[in-house]
């Protein structure tokens, strides 16, 4: 199988967003990684309504904690998407095996995670805007990663 980018969600807390991201990853051929704990149960009816039949547990990997995630990724490149980033995702050279990490909808990632990751990118927005919906952000950045690597 050809290398594909991976989308990682740090302790996601909104079931509809996670379900929409699962659908995006399924449609674009990316693996999804979820760093637990989640702020909801996979049995949540809001989650099930959005995910529909796109839930493929073979394309989703769960990590019991951020420590386990970073241990598993110690020899891989992680790219953090953050409103605190200084580099636009369009000015970054993605590779086909990147893990693109997104923080919690309510709080992003803790400072300790920021310090672990060298590549911190942002999606440029209007100066009065706070942030995009995470599902929209995943779609934007994943599509650019796939375009750059010729996988789209």
Instruction: Give the pLDDT means over successive 10-residue stretches in the chain (152 positions).
Output: 87 90 92 90 66 66 96 97 95 97 94 96 92 95 96 83
Give every CB contact of residue 143 below 8 A, 6+ residues apart in sequence: 28, 152
Q: What's the confidence (pLDDT) of residue 76? A: 96
Domains of the chain with bracketed CATH: 6-148 (3.40.1280.10)
Nearest to 103 by CA among 76, 75, 130, 137: 137
Q: What's the confidence (pLDDT) of residue 60? A: 84
Give every CB contact of residue 2 below 8 A, 6+ residues apart in sequence: 96, 151
Q: What's the confidence (pLDDT) of residue 57? A: 60
């Amino acid at each position: 199988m050809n290398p594909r980018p991976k989308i990682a969600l740090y302790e996601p807390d909104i079931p509809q967003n996670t379900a929409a991201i699962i659908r995006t990853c399924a449609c674009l051929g990316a693996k999804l990684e979820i760093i637990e704990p989640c702020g909801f149960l996979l049995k949540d009816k809001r989650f099930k309504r959005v995910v529909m039949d796109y839930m493929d547990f073979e394309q989703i990997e769960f990590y019991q904690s951020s420590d386990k995630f970073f241990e598993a990724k110690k020899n891989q490149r992680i790219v953090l998407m953050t409103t605190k980033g200084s580099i636009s995702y369009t000015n970054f050279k993605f590779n086909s095996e990147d893990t693109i990490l997104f923080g919690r909808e309510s709080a992003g990632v803790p400072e300790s995670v920021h310090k672990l990751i060298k590549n911190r990118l942002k999606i440029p927005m209007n100066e009065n805007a706070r942030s995009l919906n995470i599902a929209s952000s995943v779609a934007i950045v994943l599509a650019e990663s796939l375009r750059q690597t010729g996988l789209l």
